[in-house]
Homo-oligomer: A and B are copies of this chain.
Amino acid sequence: HLDFSSISPSEFFYRNRQMAGFGNPAQATYSTVRELVENSLDSCEDAGRAPVIAVSLETTASSQVVISVEDNGLGLPYDEVPSAFGQVLYGSKYGLRQKRGTFGLGVTMAVLYGQITTDSPVIIHTQSDNRGWVYRLYIDIENNHPLVEESSERIRSETGTTVTVRIEGDLPRAASRIDDYLRLTSIATPHARLVLRIDDETTLDVGPWTEILPPQPMEAKPHPRSADTELVRRTMAGKQALSLKDYLIGSFQQVGRKTASEFIRFLGLDSKRRVGDLSRTEISRISSVLKSYDSFSRPDGNSLSPIGREAFLKGVQSLYEPEYFSYASRGPLEWDGYPFILEGVIASGAAFPKGEEPTLFRFANRVPLLYDASDDILTKSLKRVSWSRYGIPNGVPWGIFVSFCSTKVPYQAAGKQSIATLDEIESAGLALFRALGRGALKQTKRQKRSK
């Protein structure tokens, strides 16, 4: 008869590692660098420090690649290292504020891939207080927990982390993408210095372009429009004695005393009802009306960290030296109750490939997205714009850099390369691209008049 069983999350991602960007050696080489650099940048920003990140790639005999990423971030506490690196769905980024990481999966995928292709443990050298530690560890894939081969004390020059993995890779095919990735990362994080060494030769050393550190995004309460029955159930847990009014004000952002009273009146309920006395039907109704009630103000933008006009333009100028460039932004807006901002820079110059429409460079939460462009909603929005209406192309190659930032990025897959189709993001994309187009058209007309 049929054999029913369950698998662990690490087993799931071992079997389906192409979903996380580890389906072939070239992409695995890229994804390993990306996952490690993302973590380093998140940590430096948590530390409130200007990031200095060194990526080292070393080819060995056969097609193995040793990838090492060093940062000056917060480091990790000694007792958190095994789970952070050797367990899938374990991390520190499950809250509601803008971060690059989101799943608690990324670095463990690199560890897993290195282990299954080269039988090598990951090596972590980290310092978060006044003691440094080196770990060599593996992951028990069937059971989703770490296997520590060794851990010992070792001094490190400052707090921060160095992660080293050995994988079956394809450096010739991945090298130029990794270079692009770091250059584009430099545009999105102008306050960072990024160094790339390949076989002991420094091939890239970019940034910082600015001394100014972006303000840290604040942890936010959920917005009413992100509500579903599960969120309402969880936010009600442990608040059985509260009044419905106090529950709403305490659990959601953009809900003050006046708004809460109006909302409760709209529902036809008594604001003094205790949460614990509400029926299942009433709770279900509260959840669906929270989602659709349109008198709540838009979610706060202070859990976001946009690149900003000045920094974005400076980065594009420094790396692409365009003849023309302009910036536009949309937001804070929201998708499903999560705040987002969309920023864009349109630029023309010889550095861009020729094409019927501008070449699109995408960013999500300050991370360049280099794969899976065609199904990204921003790419689809770009293709819907009638670029000829804005005089594009006009004999000059154009590029558009678009940066999406949100407390939650709706990625299409666990490899975090492409944004899913959501109406609010699609219309914001269209609006932004048209604004950038109008700016370009003005410039083209101005140039013609001056000739």
Point out residues on A near B: beta carbons under 8 Å: 1-9, 11-12, 14-16, 18-19, 23-24, 27, 46, 62, 74, 77, 80, 83-84, 87, 89-92, 94-95, 103-104, 115-119, 141-142, 168, 228-230, 234, 280, 283-284, 287-288, 372-375, 408, 410-414, 418, 420-423
Closest Cβ neighbor of A24 among chain B residues: B422
With contacts A23-B420, A230-B141, A414-B19 taken as known, whether A12 is within 8 angstroms of B119 at the C-beta atoms is: no
The 3 closest A-B pairs by CB, nearest first: A374-B374, A413-B413, A119-B284
Q: In the complex, A230 Cα to B413 Cα: how many Å?
A: 24
Cβ-defined contact, B89 with A23, below 8 A: no
With contacts A12-B9, A116-B228, A230-B115 taken as known, whether A4 is within 8 angstroms of B90 at the C-beta atoms is: yes
Q: Oligomeric state, in number of copies?
A: 2
Cβ-defined contact, B6 with A104, below 8 A: yes
Cβ-defined contact, B119 with A280, below 8 A: yes
Cβ-defined contact, B375 with A7, below 8 A: no
Cβ-defined contact, A89 with B4, below 8 A: no
Q: In the complex, A289 Cα to B168 Cα: how many Å?
A: 13
Q: In the complex, A16 Cα to B410 Cα: how many Å?
A: 7
With contacts A117-B229, A284-B119 taken as known, whether A7 is within 8 angstroms of B410 at the C-beta atoms is: no
The residues of B that contact A117 with a CB separation of less than 8 Å are 228-229, 288
The residues of B that contact A284 with a CB separation of less than 8 Å are 118-119
With contacts A12-B103, A23-B420, A411-B19 taken as known, whether A7 is within 8 angstroms of B94 at the C-beta atoms is: yes
Cβ-defined contact, B9 with A89, below 8 A: yes
Cβ-defined contact, A411 with B16, below 8 A: yes
Q: In the complex, A24 Cα to B410 Cα: how many Å?
A: 11
Closest Cβ neighbor of A229 among chain B residues: B119
The residues of B that contact A6 with a CB separation of less than 8 Å are 83, 87, 89-90, 104
Cβ-defined contact, A420 with B374, below 8 A: no
Cβ-defined contact, A19 with B230, below 8 A: no
Min CB–CB distance A424 → chain B (angstroms): 10
Min CB–CB distance A69 → chain B (angstroms): 19
Can you list 25 residue pairs at the A/B interface with Cβ under 8 Å?
Answer: A1-B77, A3-B95, A4-B91, A5-B91, A5-B94, A6-B87, A6-B89, A7-B94, A9-B89, A12-B103, A16-B410, A16-B414, A18-B420, A23-B410, A23-B420, A24-B423, A62-B288, A115-B230, A117-B229, A117-B288, A119-B283, A141-B230, A374-B374, A375-B418, A413-B413
Closest Cβ neighbor of A408 among chain B residues: B15
Q: In the complex, A46 Cα to B412 Cα: how many Å?
A: 32
Q: In the complex, A118 Cα to B232 Cα: how many Å?
A: 12
Q: In the complex, A324 Cα to B412 Cα: how many Å?
A: 38
The residues of B that contact A11 with a CB separation of less than 8 Å are 89
The residues of B that contact A414 with a CB separation of less than 8 Å are 16, 19, 413
The residues of B that contact A229 with a CB separation of less than 8 Å are 115-119
Q: In the complex, A187 Cα to B288 Cα: how many Å?
A: 40
Cβ-defined contact, B4 with A83, below 8 A: yes
Min CB–CB distance A177 → chain B (angstroms): 13
The residues of B that contact A12 with a CB separation of less than 8 Å are 9, 89, 103
Min CB–CB distance A428 → chain B (angstroms): 15
Point out which of A5, A12, A142, A412 has the most chain B C-beta atoms below 10 A from its C-beta: A412
Q: In the complex, A15 Cα to B228 Cα: how many Å?
A: 11
Q: In the complex, A4 Cα to B361 Cα: how many Å?
A: 33
Closest Cβ neighbor of A414 among chain B residues: B19
Closest Cβ neighbor of A7 among chain B residues: B89
Which of B3, B23, B77, B168 interacts with A422 by CB under 8 Å?
Answer: B23
Q: In the complex, A343 Cα to B95 Cα: how many Å?
A: 46
Closest Cβ neighbor of A139 among chain B residues: B230
Point out which of A230, A283, A421 has the most chain B C-beta atoms below 10 A from its C-beta: A230
Min CB–CB distance A213 → chain B (angstroms): 18
Q: In the complex, A284 Cα to B46 Cα: how many Å?
A: 39
Q: In the complex, A298 Cα to B115 Cα: how many Å?
A: 26
Cβ-defined contact, B418 with A2, below 8 A: no
Q: In the complex, A297 Cα to B243 Cα: how many Å?
A: 71
The residues of B that contact A18 with a CB separation of less than 8 Å are 410-412, 420, 422
Q: In the complex, A104 Cα to B3 Cα: how many Å?
A: 12
Q: In the complex, A380 Cα to B283 Cα: how many Å?
A: 48
